[in-house]
Every structure is written in C-alpha cells, then in structure tokens.
Chains A and B, each alone.
Chain A
C-alpha cells in the first residue's frame, strides 16, 4: 500500500502563486491515480481532479478547469496542485488521495494541506 505525505500549511496573499505537493511512497506507483479534493471551511468535499501516474491522463472537474493545474514529477513520486494567481476564495483544506488503476477506491489519503489566502 502507498503512503501520501503532503506539504505543510501556507499563508499567501491574493494574486500570489502556489504549488502544494503530495509525496507518494510505496511500490507500483505507475499503477496509481492521484486525486485532489478541496474542502472549504465548514463545507463539504469537492473533487478538483485526478491524474494517472502511469501516463498523461489528467481530468479536471468542470468547476476547477482553468483554475488550477495538476501535475506530477513521476521520477520522485510527487504530485502537485498549483495556482497561478490565488484568490481569497481558494482558502481551504486540500487533500490528495490515491486509487489503484482499475478500481474506484480512493484510499489512502494525505493528511491535508491548509491554504489560507488573505491580504
């Protein structure tokens, strides 16, 4: 089974850029999908998108298309979620989660990264 460790909490100003990471350790990483989930304060879970570590397939939920970029450095087993210009409304907890290709099961999850955007 893989383990996911995310980068630490950050505080940014509106308009700044940000890249949060999710380090995936374990065997068979190329058979995994990594998904990113947003949880705004006091709100529910929302899928941002998913990326296949074994290829180039990346899919965004319609609400997030063009708002963020999901990428990965497969040589070091790390996935990224990136913003070019943050807004206050991006303040949220962000989780990464993993699923074996061919299953629908996202487990385990990272510990979460709290992103606070405030002037």
Chain B
C-alpha cells in the first residue's frame, strides 16, 4: 500500500516557523481524525509529538502544532530550535479491505 506523501526535506533558521505537509486520501487522512506525528532523532526510538490531528502528549513543547484540511495534514514547528533537527513522520488510520495504519514517507528537518 502506498505511503502518505511528505516532502523529503524542510529547512529553517533558528527561531523561524516551518510546516510539514502530509497528503493522503479520503480513505485515511480525510476520513478520520486519526493523524499522529512522530519525531525521530538518529539512532533513537520514534517519539509521539501530536495525536488525533491536533493534540499534544504531556511534556511535548507547545511549539509543535498539528492541523488538517481535507486529505492533507500539517505539522508546524514554531520558534525552531537546534534540537528540532530530526526526521518527522505522519501516521494515519486507513480503511481498505483490511483496516490498518500507514506512515508518511518522512521529512528531514534541518535547522540552519
């Protein structure tokens, strides 16, 4: 099954805001409020930073925010910091013959 589509890379300067898009279909992103976002630093376990499109787990900085419009979800990182340099993956529930989950292709965020 095809992955959700994310830009391969996004960069921004310290203190700036960046937005990562995640595009799917009406069978996944557009059909459910199930989008979550994971941050992964090299050699580390993926960390949940957004769930149910807009919610932040306890302990996650409020510089991370999520949204959705139609079949596209977005992750915005405001006040970009050096430690935000990482890979980011969106994830969504998908209804097909067998309902399951699907990740995005991943986005490398570089802090300039």
A88 contacts the other chain (Cβ, under 8 Å)?
no
Residues of B within 8 A of A62 (CB): 1
Expressed in whole angstroms, the Cα–Cα distance for A112 and B44 within the complex equals 9
Residues of B within 8 A of A61 (CB): 1, 100, 102
Q: Is the interface of B mostly helix, strand, loop or mixed?
A: strand
B105 contacts the other chain (Cβ, under 8 Å)?
yes
B-binding residues in A (CB < 8 A): 35, 37, 44-47, 49-50, 59-63, 95, 104-107, 109-112
Asked, given contacts A62-B1, A104-B32, A111-B45, whether A49 binds B100 with beta carbons under 8 Å apart, the answer is yes
17 contacts between A and B (CB under 8 A): A37-B46, A44-B89, A44-B104, A45-B40, A59-B100, A61-B100, A61-B102, A104-B51, A104-B92, A105-B52, A106-B36, A106-B48, A106-B91, A107-B48, A107-B51, A110-B45, A112-B45
Cβ B48 vs Cβ A44 within 8 A: no
Interface size band for B:
20 to 34
Residues of A within 8 A of B46 (CB): 37, 45, 95, 109
Expressed in whole angstroms, the Cα–Cα distance for A87 and B108 within the complex equals 29
Expressed in whole angstroms, the Cα–Cα distance for A49 and B99 within the complex equals 10
Residues of A within 8 A of B40 (CB): 45
Residues of B within 8 A of A110 (CB): 45
Residues of B within 8 A of A47 (CB): 100-103
Expressed in whole angstroms, the Cα–Cα distance for A62 and B97 within the complex equals 10
Expressed in whole angstroms, the Cα–Cα distance for A41 and B25 within the complex equals 28
B106 contacts the other chain (Cβ, under 8 Å)?
yes
Expressed in whole angstroms, the Cα–Cα distance for A20 and B40 within the complex equals 22
Residues of A within 8 A of B21 (CB): none
B98 contacts the other chain (Cβ, under 8 Å)?
yes
